[in-house]
Amino acid sequence: MMIIINLINSILDYYIFVFICMRLNKIKKPSKIFAAVLSLSGLLFILSSSVLASPTSNFTQTINAGTLAVDIVDGSYASVGSPSVAMNAATFSFSCQSSTGTLGTATQQIYVVNPDAADNGWVVSIAASGPTAFWDGAAADFDFNDPTTSGCGDGADTDSLIGQMTIDASGGTLATGGCSSCVTTNITKGSSNAFSEGPVNSITVLTGAAGSDDIGDWTLQGVSLSQTIPAEQPAASDYDINMTLSVVST
C-alpha cells in the first residue's frame, strides 16, 4: 500500500514539474523531442522515488561458535575460584604407604563445554605444572611420578624423590550439564593410569569421540586418586602440588 501511495505522489510531483517548466519557457505544446526528454526524465524520477521510498530493511545475524573449555564448577555451573582436593590424611609410617582422594564432587565438579567448537571430538587430561614438579612441603618433599617399585623407590628420573600418583576416572559419574537435549553417548571416562616422568606426563580423564554431541556440556564427579608416600616421610600438614585440567580438540 505504501509503495502505491508513493508512486501516485511521484506521478503528481512529476506533472507539476512539467507544468512549471512549460510555463517558465512559455511552451503551450511541447515538441516531440522535448516531450520525449520529459517522459524519460519523468520515468527515471518515478522509479527512483519508488525505490528510495521502500520501507523494508534487510536485517542479518551471525552466531559464531564458542570456545571449547574445561573448568571446575559448583552445582550451578559457576566457576570455583580456588578449587582444591584434600587427600585422606595418612599417619607416619616406617613403610611405604598410600593415600587416597577424590577429584570431582557436587560442589567442585569437572565441567566440559563444547559450544560447536570441536565437531571431531575432544580430550580432557590432567597434568602437573611439569614433569619435574613434586609434592612440596616446608621441611621435606616427595614425588608424584616416579614408578620405581610402584612409587616406593627412587629411580633414574631427574630428582631423588620417591612417590607416584595414580588417577582413575573409570568409576566416576558422568552426566550432562545445563543442556537439556544433550546425551553422554560417545563420551568415555579415562582408565586407571599412573604418572611416570617422561612416558606419562598427563593422564586422560574424559574423551568425547567424533560421534558425541557437537554442542553440549557435561560434568564428571568421583575420579579416584591414589598417592604412594615414601617410608619415613616426615609428618607435616603443608604438602601440596598443583594439578591442571586441560581440553583439546581432536
Model confidence over 152-199: pLDDT tens digits?
A: 999 988 999 999 999 999 999 999 999 999 999 999 999 999 999 999
**Domain boundaries of the chain, sorted by first residue:** 2-52, 69-249
pTM of the model: 0.78
CA atoms of 165 and 114, how far apart (whole Å): 29
β strands within the chain, DSSP E:
69-73, 97-103, 109-115, 122-128, 165-168, 173-176, 187-189, 193-194, 202-208, 215-221, 223-229, 243-249
Instruction: Please tell me whether residue 148 adopts helix, strand or coil conformation.
Output: helix
From CA 216, how far away is CA 184, in angstroms rounded?
9
Residue type at 209 in one-letter notation: A
Determine contact, residues 164/195, Cβ cutoff 8 Å: yes
Q: How far apart are CA 129 and CA 230, in angstroms?
A: 22
- Element at 46 (helix H, strand E): helix 32-52
Q: Using one digit for the tens of pLDDT, what is the confidence trace for 62-107?
A: 999 999 999 999 999 999 999 999 999 999 999 999 999 999 999 9
Tell me if 85 sits within 8 A of 203, measured CB to CB: no
Could you tell me which residues are beta bridge partners of residue 71? 111
Bridge pairing between strands 193-194 and 223-229:
unpaired
